[in-house]
Amino acid sequence: MQRQVQTRCGYRFKDLSLLDQALTHPSFAAEQTPAPPDNQRMEFLGDSVLQLILSDLLFASLPDDKEGTLTRLRATLANEPATASYAQKLGLQEAILLGKGEEQTGGRERQSILGDLFEAFLAAVYLDGGMDAARSICQRLLPPLADRKRQLLAKDNPKGALQELCQDRFKCKPKYHVLSAEGPVHAPHFVVNVSVNDVVMGQGSGSSHRIAERQAATQALLKFLQDDGAAQD
């Protein structure tokens, strides 16, 4: 199993005991006599290593963004669902050593366990090969940072995020078109679509132009991101 983990992550450990410890859940260690070192302390270190790597990558990759945006992006890339997904990409859930109770109750798929597992694994890589090795692991796992930024902005300012994407990729601005405006004055209903280079990319509806345009922009952004994901696959 050690060999499989190393192959998946693209890193060869010099000290395999560090990998063993990272893969040892406290529930497994508690059932052994004598108890081997578990991965709790390594989680603590790995969390800090991940935060530093993400801070450095975001700072370098998004030079025009303010602290608030960078902080929120870092949080989405270091939260439990994110770290659990990194563990799964590396197949660490297949290698973790769990106690009988955790094994029987689905611990191998539990986000909290997998998130901690990735942090412990990253700490093991850092201790064995230094920051450059840990950074290399993260860079292979992370989604494109610009896309993650657009996903974040899509919730707050989808029109602004779509305009930025269109200017970056196509050197144009998205165009919004009112398809219908119906209903009484006190309860209007608008339907709007948005096109990029004369191709309709999204449609939205709502009680105002603004709401309808936000929905259309959000739909367009999601389509772009889905297309990007399909292209990468």
Q: How confident is the model over 5-61, as pLDDT tens digits? A: 888 889 999 999 999 999 999 999 999 999 999 999 999 999 999 999 999 999 999
Active-site residue (options: 47, 116, 128, 213): 47
- 188/205 Cα distance (integer angstroms): 10
State how beta strands 199-206 and 189-196 pair: antiparallel
DSSP E strands in 55-100: the ranges are none
**Residue type present at position 87:** A
Partners of 24 in the β-ladder: 97
Are domains 2-142 and 147-232 of this chain identical in fold? no
- State yes or no: is 119 an active-site residue: yes
Q: What angle do CA 177, 183, 188 make, to 5 degrees?
A: 60
- State yes or no: is 80 an active-site residue: no
pLDDT of residue 161: 83
Work out the mean pLDDT of the chain and round it to a whole number.
91
What are the per-10-residue average pLDDT scores of the chain (233 residues)? Answer: 83 94 95 94 97 95 88 92 94 93 91 96 97 95 82 79 87 95 91 95 94 92 74 56
pLDDT of residue 171: 92
pLDDT of residue 169: 87
pLDDT of residue 156: 76
- 97/220 Cα distance (integer angstroms): 44
DSSP E strands in 131-188: the ranges are 175-182
Handedness of CA 199, 224, 71, 136 (dihedral sign): negative
pLDDT of residue 59: 94
In this structure, CATH architecture of domain 2-142: Orthogonal Bundle (1.10)
pLDDT of residue 229: 58
pLDDT of residue 22: 96
**What is the pTM assigned to this prediction?**
0.73
| Both tokens assigned to 179 | 């398809």
Domain spans of the chain, in order of start: 2-142, 147-232
pLDDT of residue 100: 94
CATH of 147-232, picked from 3.90.79.10, 3.30.160.20, 3.40.50.970, 3.40.50.2000, is: 3.30.160.20
- 129/116 Cα distance (integer angstroms): 20
Active-site residue (options: 116, 119, 128, 213): 119
